[in-house]
Amino acid sequence: MNYKVFFLALVIALCLQGVSAWQLGMTDDFMWGDQAHYVQTGNPKEFDFYQAYGHPGGPIIEGVILIHSVSGFSYRMSIEILLVVLGGFISAAASLLCYLIWRKHLWWIMTAVTLSIDHLIYDFATPPTYIVSLLAVFLFLLTWYMYKNKERLSPFLPALWATAAGLAVATRADIASFFSLFLGGFLFLTGTVNLKKMLAVVFGAIMVFVLADPFMWFMPVQHIKDLLVKVVIHYALFVPNLLTPLQVGNFSVLAFISIAVGAGIVFYKKIPLLLPVSLFTTVLAMTAVLYNIFLSAKFQDPRYFLPILLVWEILLPFYVFSIVPYFDLKWRKMIYYGFVVLFFVYHFALFFYAIWLSHFLPILI
């Protein structure tokens, strides 16, 4: 059954992400296609801080070069294919983890849909932000699954965690390092992995990072310095661009609802929080720290919030389904099916509206 869940989630993700790539594209996808071209041909522009260099985007660059070299497709076409395929597999893996954590209801399908066509993705994401956001969700779910099964933890899981963390840092070092630090700390402090295993996980993640980031192959020390410089450029040196409270509330609304529902379950106490309270508070602390960092920066953009927003958004259906059994019997089905319908209408209505705008707005202008 696990394989069926994975492949069904993969089909859903590939179809939805394929339509999204075909109809909507993604912000800065051309820039990352160019970056792969620069790296492959040794063009000095591959080191331009004000273009793609420094995130570092390693798996994207390597993947685009591979697809371009094998297929002969343009770099622009190659990056679209890469984002769909890589995004589809990560989304399917995250959906499978949802199924393994909680086999009831449609939560795993809803996760596949959210990670494929959430409006925050096609409205704001760039290629590295998109991939690292999916990997951040996967890391969160894998951390949860490992904690849930810590008494019989398979050696494969820490290795998988290290691989995901290494790929995430090689994609976008700043937010991925933050997620890895907090979630890795959770695994260690809760006794899910001991010190020896934790050190092995850290070493494995570093090795994956080095292998997945082509700049680490020939200029490791300078590249590490450049990654820190890129963080400063993005958060301190750009011309100020500040988000309004209305903008922040608009893209955070579902995450804030999810936080409120989760907190309500914690304080109500008559309903058990199926997500471990310690993990809930860890992610809550991560959210508070990230919002403080991003909203105090000179240059603010909704895409920076995407990894933590998607974590909370995939939790919302989980929370709703977990509290439905505690409603009066006559209301349960109405609340359950009403939420399912509302979920799919919300995501697909925004998705097809965005496609409609992409076709008709240029004509109207």
How high is the pLDDT of residue 357?
87
Amino acid identity at 306 = L
pLDDT 10s digits, 67-123: 999 999 999 999 999 999 999 999 999 999 999 999 878 999 999 999 999 999 999
Give the residue among 69, 87, 89 at the shortest CA–CA distance from 78. 69
Residue 321: other Cβ atoms inside 10 A: 20
Residue 295: other Cβ atoms inside 10 A: 14
Q: Are 342 and 257 in contact (CB under 8 A)?
A: no
Q: Please determine, for residue 194, whether its predicted confidence score (pLDDT) is greater than 80.
A: yes
Q: Residue 241: phi, psi to the nearest 5?
A: -140, 100
- Give the separation between CA 161 and CA 198, rounded to whole angstroms: 11
Residue 177, token pair as written in the block: 């390092």
pLDDT 10s digits, 195-236: 999 999 999 999 999 999 999 999 999 999 988 887 776 665
- Give the separation between CA 340 and CA 335, rounded to whole angstroms: 9
Sign of CA dihedral 111, 75, 52, 226: positive
Residue 268: other Cβ atoms inside 10 A: 12
Residues in CB range of 297: below 8 A, 6 or more apart:
234, 235, 236
Q: Please determine, for residue 349, whether its predicted confidence score (pLDDT) is greater than 60.
A: yes
pLDDT 10s digits, 265-285: 888 877 777 899 999 999 999
pLDDT tier, 363 (very low <50, low <70, confident <90, very high otherwise): low
What is the pTM (predicted TM-score) of this model?
A: 0.95
Count of domains in the chain?
A: 1
Range of the domain at 125: 2-364
- Give the separation between CA 212 and CA 207, rounded to whole angstroms: 9
